[in-house]
Structure 1
Amino acid sequence: MSEALQILQKYWKHDAFRSLQNEIIDSVLSGQDTFALLPTGGGKSICFQIPAMINEGICLVISPLVALMKDQVANLEKRNIKAIALTGGIKSDEMIDLLDNCQFGNYKFLYLSPERLQSDWILDRLKNLPINLITIDEAHCVSQWGHDFRPAYLKISELKKHFPKIPFLALTATATPKAKEDIINELGLQNPQLFQKSFARDNIAYMTFEVEDKLFRIEQILKKNPQPSIIYVRNRKSCLDISSQLQSLGFKATYYHGGLTSKDKDKNMELWMEEKAQVIVATNAFGMGIDKSNVKTVIHIQLPENLENYYQEAGRSGRNGEKAYAVLLSNPSDIAQAENQFLKILPDKKFLNSMYIKLCNFFQIAYGEGINEKFSFNLNHFCIKYGFPVLKTYNAIQFLDRQGVITLSQEFSEKITLQFIIPSKEVIRYISLNHRDEEIILAILRTYPGIYEMQTPFNIQLIAKKSNHSEMEIHAVLHKLKEKDIVDYHSKNNDASLIFNEIREDERTINRVSKYLENQNNLKKEQFKSVLNYVNENTTCKSKLILSYFGEKTSDDCGICSHCITKKDKKTDISKLSKDIITLLKTEELNSREIQNKTNSNADAIIFVIQELLESGCIKVKSNNKYTLIL
């Protein structure tokens, strides 16, 4: 038995490696630079963890995701493997102690963000460590054509000068051919061994449907497939709404989003993992580290931002190798909503320049000054003062953070969550007896309609503006309501911290980084076009479309996606169905569900025929979502 397999069995309790893991490990152990593209669920971490355990010394892991670093360190420590992560918020003297531990404490893994490499003293300390492997996780961040480009990743190649004999291992789950080439060049990989697992998931049926009533279609899918399912939604409120609606239809459902407490996250996750709930309705906060093999169906009820994210989320189904379904439900209004969410909040150069100047003014930083100055920062205060849209501003600040112009901690403003815990009629009775509090309470109830059902993130500046009261008055009312057991109110004061890494130079600063902004904005627009093409293209196998996006060519249709199933229907049946629908619409206007009931036909075939009739100009859809003949 090989040493690698022994370690796998001893620490990870697996009897065999997954596809390509063993080959990647062998490449690293032979001292080769290595590039591995393993889609979601491919077991990337094993590829660097096992060779690091075999060799003397420590593995340096460069990762952009603090949550992922913490998660991996915790998992290694559970296996009694010593690991450290240098995440944000660690003071310099504490960091020196941690690096001393790495040097003298027999640690096997050191995780850090690429931004840490920009500190010369950290780089000097790394040179003295017995590093046996340098792993670049989420390597698509190196490429300007990757979906989360971070210029700090470009500094990683400098490690080659200091560790010329140490192998580099670049890992990613999603990279187009253009991004793959870019990663290899930017990291300076020397004659790398390339390993790429196919993006094909032969057991997943990719389905796209244009529907008027998404809940009705979800109900049909879940009744037909009663095994564990995930429904991805865009926001926290939708989590609760869809979960409640499914419960009212008789399904056991729970929900998961980033705003839940750790206790509630664990509780809801456990319900689903133990199959006490069939469905978990979740935002994209749900997914990291989820390894449930028997997920039958993953349903998206809104358009994803890009096919990289969609592929990863859809790929959480069918990991046991049995047939599974990845369903994307859409309707015409989704495109406009998605454009508002993904594209209209992209900052352009003009906005970035204006925002940066105002940011410097906000902290009274003079031109040519400000380097290494640190400030407490409240995003909401800043946006209200200058009339900036919050999401666009956040994206602009995040961009400057990725460029290294500023460093921003990831905690924003005063985090308040609020829930009314008495019935609405009791709240009305309280208002009638406490007129002074009326304007504030009514402003809260109008702004947060779901505040009776769940702990709701609360923007105190917004309520102050809407109710024409000071923030101090809002605080006072909230404390009073809490004392009277009317609300459950949690407040944690944690303004973001903002560090200026460069002197203020206004347009010179922005001109230097704006080319990256333009590239990233163009990339996001192209990615969204690819999503629309995936949804709207009705003449090509859906699996083929996904493979093509990631640079794989195949001549074979998958045979199980929504396109392939429709294609299998006999043309005579489709022709007859088309005539039947036209006959029905001669007498009355109908929606797709009514057409399905009256023709007793397959829902997929109905959608296909309606699409053909719409494209040929035989019918049109009215504002009430009913179809009628074009006379």
Structure 2
Amino acid sequence: MNTALEILRKYWKHDAFREPQQDIINSVLAGNDTFALMPTGGGKSVCFQVPVMMQPGIGLVISPLIALMKDQVQQLHNRGIKAIALTGGIHQDEIIDLLDNCQFGNYKFLYLSPERLQNEWIVERIKNLPINLIAVDEAHCVSQWGHDFRPAYLKIAKLKELFPKVPFLALTASATAKVKEDIIVQLQLHNPKIFTKSFYRENIAYMVFKTEDKLHLLQQILQKNPQPSIIYVTNRKACLETAQQLEALGFTATFYHGGLANKDKSTHMQRWMDEEVQIMVATNAFGMGIDKANVKTIIHLHLPQNLENYYQEAGRAGRNGEKAFAILLNNPSDILHAEAQFLSILPDKTFLNGVFSKLCNYFQIAYGEGIDEQFRFNLNHFCNKYNFPTLKTYNALQFLDRQGVITLSQEFSEKISVQFIIPSKEVIRYMSLNPSDEAIILTLLRTYPGIYDMQTAINPPLVAKKSNHPETKVLSLLQKLKEKAIIEMTAKNNDATITFNEVREDERTINRIAKHLQTQNKSKHEQLLAVLQYCNDTQTCKQKVLMQYFGETIKKDCGICSFCITQKTKSKKSETLAEKIIELLKIQDFNSRDIQKLTKFPKDDVIFALQNLLEDNTICIKSNNVYSLK
């Protein structure tokens, strides 16, 4: 059998493990259930991939992130290792073939989502595989206190009964002490060996700056640090606009969000990786699998949803060990923006009940029926028909999916992408000649500001509603504009699919899962509150605040964050003021008001300096309230 280091060198081309990878691998090989808490970029995947490669049999990897599964399977293929992922949208016949390949085709890894374990026939097939390790990635999803609780994860513990001698390895990059304990209980880990790598990053300066003019401060930061940078924003519109603003200021920038075509994502990412451009402006869709060592600056223009996400995104800076910056820019209006973006779109029990009931009506499912029925589904059409807000409805559907009530294929994207390919003055000329088309065209231009720069996904029902025209009129106009070579248009037939996993019982169904919804919403509120506390705390080292959130205690301030720099500046000011006071008192005695006038320092600073000098016995105060040198 090859050693772990030999496997690492052969397939990963590394000469040494990062701490504590080797210890985790040794624990797994010894047959121990193991819990590993490793910050982002710590190399979690190696901890289960290497021991699987060292032994006969196949590794079962359970992960909730389809994109991450696909990425890891592709990376394994690139290394010459055979792996399969049972992702959504795969037909049952194809799943059977894939599982046959696992059993008879010398495959080393089987990736699947926790929801797949709800299919008894899949579990039966897995039972016959020569599993040598069960790895549970993103294990915080097991805990109801985690930031993405999925009850389907609770089914994983059943694998303990099927594979009593196979070690479990739970991995996460973000878990508080409370979540860690819950993971161990829910997965029924037996006397687990626990490995936690410190979240402390001594080379990252965590900065929080309050500013009314974010773009101006952004310009100053990027000019001072011309190395590769990532700027995180919370929506696609800000993504494009910020990149354009930076280009106008003379920087080289590109952008990345979930709505881009795969080809454009690859092109934009490669330009940044190859350092053709300095700055990547991105939503949180960017970052998975990105390991660029020399990123100098991570800047968040908007408040993140939680500190778990913030820490992971900030942690993409300084992986080469050199000093790097994680900067969060905020102003008072950001709080309202964050509450609107993250909290107002959370469905409550009443809204969830309404969405589920209308969903059943939409597909004409009778009470007590519907189990295992599958339908094509267009989210925009559904929301438009029942006047539901799109994001809140999507969150409700996702929640129903996580609870196992429905299975929602993750194929959502707008069906139509449009780009205007003639100059704006020609568009204005067309509207003046065709006034009946003006309302729809103006709605397109106002709703989708990037529609001149790239193919932009549009929502025809929304355009119809805003322009006060029927959807058929919108679609026919788009077709006409395409024929006249005014726009480029791509139509995709990629609606999602919804499978009903239970019979329709309306309120009974919702009542059963409502407690999880309340817990989720409470957790989301608490997480945003923690972000606000991180931003507003002016009395504590920023690194300390983050470490405390993740259950770590550090004794010394980091010395390089925005708080620590402020303290150093205050200390320097105090030293300078003290020297000036001593020089003045060498000439004659003065009262505090005269000292303030002569030094031109603020009153509070003068009083503070005088108190320090009194305590040091450098000066004394006389009965007539004047200060004198001792």
Instruction: Specify if TM > 0.5.
Output: yes
**What residue number does 1:331 align with?**
331
Query: Where in structure 2 are the equivalents of 1:387-536 lying within 5 Å?
Result: 387-412=387-412, 414-536=414-536
Q: Which moved more, 1:537-546 or 1:498-507?
A: 498-507
Are 1:543 and 2:555 matched, yes or no? no
SS at match of 1:94: helix
- Structure 2 letter corresponding to 1:223: Q
**What residue number does 2:109 align with?**
109
**What residue number does 2:190 align with?**
190
SS at match of 1:570: helix
- CA drift of 1:432 comes to 2.6
**What residue number does 1:79 align with?**
79
Query: Where in structure 2 are the equivalents of 1:350-365 lying within 5 Å?
Result: 350-365=350-365
**What residue number does 2:238 align with?**
238
C-alpha separation between the residues in 2 aligned to 1:76 and 1:256? 25
**What residue number does 1:118 align with?**
118
Distance 1:258 1:272, change over 3 A: same
- CA drift of 1:446 comes to 2.9
- Structure 2 letter corresponding to 1:318: G
Q: Mind listing any 5+ residue stretches in structure 1 that lack a counterpart?
A: 578-605, 610-631
C-alpha separation between the residues in 2 aligned to 1:277 and 1:20? 35
Percent identity reads 70
**What residue number does 1:65 align with?**
65
- CA drift of 1:413 comes to 6.4
SS at match of 1:209: strand
- Structure 2 letter corresponding to 1:501: N
**What residue number does 1:570 align with?**
570
C-alpha separation between the residues in 2 aligned to 1:567 and 1:545? 16
C-alpha separation between the residues in 2 aligned to 1:572 and 1:428? 60
**What residue number does 2:595 align with?**
none
**What residue number does 2:98 align with?**
98
Post-superposition Cα deviations, 1:346-382, rounded to whole Å, max 9, x if no partner, equal 1111111122112112222111111111112111122
C-alpha separation between the residues in 2 aligned to 1:7 and 1:413? 40
For the 8 Å contact 2:300–2:328, the answer to whether it is kept is yes
Distance 1:51 1:443, change over 3 A: same
Q: Which moved more, 1:375-384 or 1:223-232?
A: 375-384
Are 1:321 and 2:321 matched, yes or no? yes
Could you list the runs of 4 or more consecutive aligned residues of structure 1 that deviate by over 4 angstroms after TM superposition?
A: 574-577
Equivalent pairs counted in the alignment come to 581
For the 8 Å contact 2:237–2:449, the answer to whether it is kept is no
SS at match of 1:381: helix
- CA drift of 1:39 comes to 0.3
- CA drift of 1:483 comes to 2.1
Post-superposition Cα deviations, 1:326-365, rounded to whole Å, max 9, x if no partner, equal 0000000000010000011111111111221121122221
**What residue number does 2:277 align with?**
277
Alignment TM-score, normalising by the size of structure 2: 0.90
Distance 1:166 1:250, change over 3 A: same
Are 1:368 and 2:381 matched, yes or no? no
- Structure 2 letter corresponding to 1:483: E
Post-superposition Cα deviations, 1:598-626, rounded to whole Å, max 9, x if no partner, equal xxxxxxxx9xx9xxxxxxxxxxxxxxxxx
Distance 1:273 1:412, change over 3 A: closer
Distance 1:177 1:425, change over 3 A: same
Distance 1:396 1:299, change over 3 A: same
- Structure 1 letter corresponding to 2:164: P
- Structure 1 letter corresponding to 2:97: D
Q: Which moved more, 1:547-556 or 1:479-488?
A: 479-488
For the 8 Å contact 2:414–2:457, the answer to whether it is kept is no
Post-superposition Cα deviations, 1:484-511, rounded to whole Å, max 9, x if no partner, equal 2211211102221111110111111111
C-alpha separation between the residues in 2 aligned to 1:574 and 1:234? 41
Alignment TM-score, normalising by the size of structure 1: 0.90
For the 8 Å contact 2:440–2:467, the answer to whether it is kept is yes
Are 1:289 and 2:289 matched, yes or no? yes
**What residue number does 1:621 align with?**
none
**What residue number does 1:37 align with?**
37
Q: Which moved more, 1:562-571 or 1:291-300?
A: 562-571
C-alpha separation between the residues in 1 aligned to 2:150 and 2:60? 19
- CA drift of 1:438 comes to 2.7
C-alpha separation between the residues in 2 aligned to 1:346 and 1:435? 41
Distance 1:271 1:309, change over 3 A: same
Q: Which moved more, 1:444-453 or 1:135-144?
A: 444-453
Q: Which moved more, 1:60-69 or 1:270-279?
A: 270-279
**What residue number does 2:200 align with?**
200
Distance 1:281 1:336, change over 3 A: same
**What residue number does 1:308 align with?**
308
SS at match of 2:492: strand
C-alpha separation between the residues in 2 aligned to 1:171 and 1:413? 31
For the 8 Å contact 1:34–1:168, the answer to whether it is kept is yes
- CA drift of 1:410 comes to 1.5
**What residue number does 1:139 align with?**
139
C-alpha separation between the residues in 2 aligned to 1:574 and 1:312? 37
For the 8 Å contact 1:378–1:413, the answer to whether it is kept is no
- Structure 2 letter corresponding to 1:370: G
- CA drift of 1:209 comes to 0.6
**What residue number does 2:48 align with?**
48
- Structure 1 letter corresponding to 2:373: E
SS at match of 1:326: strand
**What residue number does 2:175 align with?**
175
Post-superposition Cα deviations, 1:10-40, rounded to whole Å, max 9, x if no partner, equal 1110011011000000001111100000100
- Structure 2 letter corresponding to 1:415: K
Taking only aligned residues, the RMSD between alpha carbons, in angstroms, comes to: 1.8
For the 8 Å contact 1:379–1:413, the answer to whether it is kept is no
For the 8 Å contact 2:39–2:312, the answer to whether it is kept is yes
SS at match of 1:18: coil
Distance 1:466 1:30, change over 3 A: same
For the 8 Å contact 1:140–1:180, the answer to whether it is kept is yes
Q: Which moved more, 1:130-139 or 1:359-368?
A: 359-368
Post-superposition Cα deviations, 1:368-401, rounded to whole Å, max 9, x if no partner, equal 1111111121111221222211111111111000
Distance 1:377 1:575, change over 3 A: farther
Query: Where in structure 2 are the equivalents of 1:210-249 lying within 5 Å?
Result: 210-249=210-249
Distance 1:375 1:184, change over 3 A: same
C-alpha separation between the residues in 2 aligned to 1:367 and 1:513? 18
For the 8 Å contact 2:2–2:54, the answer to whether it is kept is no
- Structure 2 letter corresponding to 1:254: T
**What residue number does 1:5 align with?**
5
- CA drift of 1:473 comes to 2.4
C-alpha separation between the residues in 2 aligned to 1:115 and 1:499? 12
**What residue number does 1:624 align with?**
none
Are 1:377 and 2:384 matched, yes or no? no
- Structure 2 letter corresponding to 1:385: K
SS at match of 1:45: helix
For the 8 Å contact 1:380–1:413, the answer to whether it is kept is no
Distance 1:570 1:443, change over 3 A: closer
- CA drift of 1:259 comes to 1.4
For the 8 Å contact 1:414–1:493, the answer to whether it is kept is no
**What residue number does 2:590 align with?**
none
For the 8 Å contact 1:60–1:133, the answer to whether it is kept is yes
C-alpha separation between the residues in 1 aligned to 2:574 and 2:498? 61
For the 8 Å contact 1:33–1:167, the answer to whether it is kept is yes
